[in-house]
Amino acid sequence: MGMIHGRLYDQHLIRINKLKTLKEININPYPSEEYTITSNSKEISNNYKTNTHVIIAGRIIRIRRMGQASFIELKDKEGLIQIYISRNNLNYDNKVYNLFFKQLLDLGDIIGIKGYLFKTKNNHISVYAKQINLLSKCLHTLPNVKTDKSGHTFDSFDKNEKRHRMKYVDLMVNEEMKHVLLTRIQIITFIRHYLNQMNCLEVETPILQPIPGGAIARPFITYHNTLKRTFYLRISNELYLKQLLVGGLEKVYEFSRNFRNEGIDKQHNPEFTILELYVAYKDYYWMMTLTEKLLQHICWNIYQGLTLKVGQQDIHFISPLKQITFFEALKHYTGFDLSHLLENEIRTICNEINVQIDNNMNKGQLLDQIFSQKCEQQIIKPTFIIDFPLEMSPLAQKHRFKNGLSERFELIINGVEIANSYSELNDPRDQLKRFKQHMKLYNQREDEKMLIDHDFILSLEYGLPPCTGIGFGIDRLIMLFTHQRNIKEVLFFPTIKSV
């Protein structure tokens, strides 16, 4: 391992020395002036015409140096293009060609090419270079990814921790991972366009919050020097969005960057993206229909159909999606009807079916653990789990027909929770009572407890219209549609351990 690092360090020193030589022959390795580009690799491939003059730019990923003629493989934002270099045809004298091109250019350098199009004897579209401009000198050796005739890739940049730490290198050399992140951008764009077409308003809510409200989670804590008070990075934006409905905005949404000071695993990152949508005068049944249509819109735009293949499973987004109540799901996957049992009876069953629990868990937490450990991972096809116990839903309306239950659903796909929705509780007195009950049930330490947001309660007293809301886990949604099992693969800059 030390030898490998030694070789890389030597290569770094060699490239630094090349900087000095470049300056000695009056070539600026980091020019600032605009470099006008007239085409790219995709446009050249789609609209090829012999002798067309082009100006392109990109990163050198392969060089085949020969005597008087050589080839460069250049990578730009759209793909790869071959560059043909002839010593006799460049606007440089032979001395500069032999020194600049043959000795001072390296893999990873960003260059600009002015030339014209032609095809090689092998019918390969190429650019015949008339001029090369160095636009940025790369001082490190790039991973040399190779593909054999069978399409197998080796020597790839595939050590996960290093890839996630050096995302810029990952984007350079791993086209698959670049495609995943570009698909992330596309999906968010599709969702935003869909909601805007519904006349929903995209809004912004505070990231620094005086009270970590809207969810149960350990927050990140910071301090405002001027105000001399503690603030929290938001764990949810839900309470703020509901206040906008109180103010008369009837359809609002936000792509919210949330922060939770908890564990890191394949499905959890300390900062993550949630789409929160709230619509006045609708309920959770309406939101289920909207959710189906939105998923169909995404799937159709990405895959031109309503079926997503995940491993050996076909995930269909054809309406209507399956619905099953929370207690029906528990009975189906555990064999026990838990709908009328007391807390101690549920605790006993947890021990019988090997559900890991803590002694201080309340009834709602016990039910949540049973569902998480015994049910969720087995639900593959898109399924709405509906009608959760009130103990698990402090912000949801009581069910209009079923005692002890709430008007809430979770969407589970491929064993993962993708979305959570309620008919929103808008009774200020009931909400205050639920907040107090929830604090008591969770029995958290003083510095971690769920504080009551009295500003939110005050807003409800002015009248929140009947409404429904939903939170989509955007990172998990993108994991689903890009076939990724690790959340770090769908984040541009995931949180990772220090070196």
Q: Are residues 184 and 258 in the same domain?
A: yes
Q: Is residue 496 part of a domain?
A: no
The residue among 393, 415, 411 whose CA lies nearest residue 402 is 393
Q: Are residues 196 and 99 in the same domain?
A: no
Q: Are residues 116 and 63 in the same domain?
A: yes
- What is residue 55's predicted lDDT score, i.e. its pLDDT? 98
Q: Domains in the chain: how many in total?
A: 2
Give the Å distances, CA to CA, from 13 to 16, 40, 487.
5, 33, 36
Q: CATH number of the domain that 421 lies in? A: 3.30.930.10
- What is residue 445's predicted lDDT score, i.e. its pLDDT? 42
Beta-strand ranges (E) seen in 16-175 are 53-64, 69-76, 79-86, 110-119, 125-136, 146-147, 153-154
With cut-offs at 50, 70 and 90, classify the pLDDT of residue 447: very low
Q: Is residue 206 part of a domain?
A: yes
The sign one gets for the Cα dihedral 365, 370, 372, 375 is negative
In this structure, of 7-21, 157-171, 248-262, 336-350, the range with the lowest mean pLDDT score is: 157-171
Mean pLDDT of all residues in 345-362: 94
The residue among 268, 28, 231 whose CA lies nearest residue 133 is 28
Structure tokens at 166: 């050096």
- What is residue 157's predicted lDDT score, i.e. its pLDDT? 60
With cut-offs at 50, 70 and 90, classify the pLDDT of residue 245: very high
Whether omega before 270 lies within 30 degrees of 0, making that bond cis, reads: no
Instruction: Give the residue carrying structure tokens 């269909």.
Output: 316
Rounded to 5°, angle at Cα 159 from 154 and 164:
125
Q: CATH number of the domain that 73 lies in? A: 2.40.50.140
The sign one gets for the Cα dihedral 217, 195, 486, 269 is negative
Q: Are residues 223 and 289 in the same domain?
A: yes
Q: Are residues 200 and 136 in the same domain?
A: no
Q: What percent of the chain has pLDDT over 90?
A: 76
Q: Is residue 376 part of a domain?
A: no
Structure tokens at 359: 């002694």
Q: Is residue 166 part of a domain?
A: no
How does DSSP classify residue 305? Answer: S
Range of the domain at 441: 177-321+382-490
pLDDT at residue 280 tops 60: yes
Structure tokens at 470: 């939903």
- What is residue 94's predicted lDDT score, i.e. its pLDDT? 64
Q: What percent of the chain has pLDDT over 70?
A: 91
Structure tokens at 299: 């799937």
Q: Are residues 302 and 444 in the same domain?
A: yes
With cut-offs at 50, 70 and 90, classify the pLDDT of residue 370: very high
Domain's final residue, options 117, 142, 167 = 142
Q: Are residues 119 and 255 in the same domain?
A: no
Residue 2 φ/ψ, nearest 5 degrees = -65, -35
- What is residue 97's predicted lDDT score, i.e. its pLDDT? 73
How does DSSP classify residue 406? Answer: B
- What is residue 241's predicted lDDT score, i.e. its pLDDT? 98
The residue among 43, 37, 497 whose CA lies nearest residue 270 is 497
Kindly report the average pLDDT of the chain as a whole number.
Answer: 91
Q: Read off the pLDDT of residues 176-191 as tens digits, 9 standing for 90 and up.
A: 999 999 999 999 999 9
Domain's final residue, options 142, 169, 200 = 142
Q: Are residues 131 and 267 in the same domain?
A: no
- What is residue 66's predicted lDDT score, i.e. its pLDDT? 83
Contact between residue 69 and residue 85 where contact means Cβ atoms under 8 Å apart: yes
How does DSSP classify residue 322? Answer: E
CA atoms lying within 13 Å on the CB side of residue 105? 27
Mean pLDDT of all residues in 466-470: 98
Instruction: Give the list of residues 6+ apart from residue 438 with CB closer than 8 angstroms, or none.
Output: 216, 394, 450
Q: Are residues 138 and 181 in the same domain?
A: no
Contact between residue 255 and residue 188 where contact means Cβ atoms under 8 Å apart: yes
pLDDT at residue 410 tops 50: yes
Q: Are residues 125 and 263 in the same domain?
A: no
pLDDT at residue 298 tops 50: yes
Domain's final residue, options 84, 117, 142 = 142
Q: Is residue 229 part of a domain?
A: yes
The residue among 61, 68, 143, 65 whose CA lies nearest residue 103 is 65
Number of H helices, E strands in the chain: 14, 20
Q: Is residue 402 part of a domain?
A: yes
> What Rg value do the Cα atoms of the chain yield, rounded?
29
Give the Å distances, CA to CA, from 169 to 138, 201, 228, 256, 457.
12, 37, 42, 27, 49
Q: Are residues 117 and 181 in the same domain?
A: no
Dist. CA 202–CA 215, nearest whole Å:
21
Q: Is residue 370 part of a domain?
A: no
Rounded to 5°, angle at Cα 18 from 15 and 21:
170
Q: Is residue 453 part of a domain?
A: yes
Q: Read off the pLDDT of residues 104-141 as tens digits, 9 standing for 90 and up.
A: 999 999 999 999 999 999 999 999 999 999 999 999 99
Q: Are residues 290 and 406 in the same domain?
A: yes
| Predicted TM-score (pTM) of this structure | 0.89
Q: How far apart are the first and last CA of the chain?
A: 16
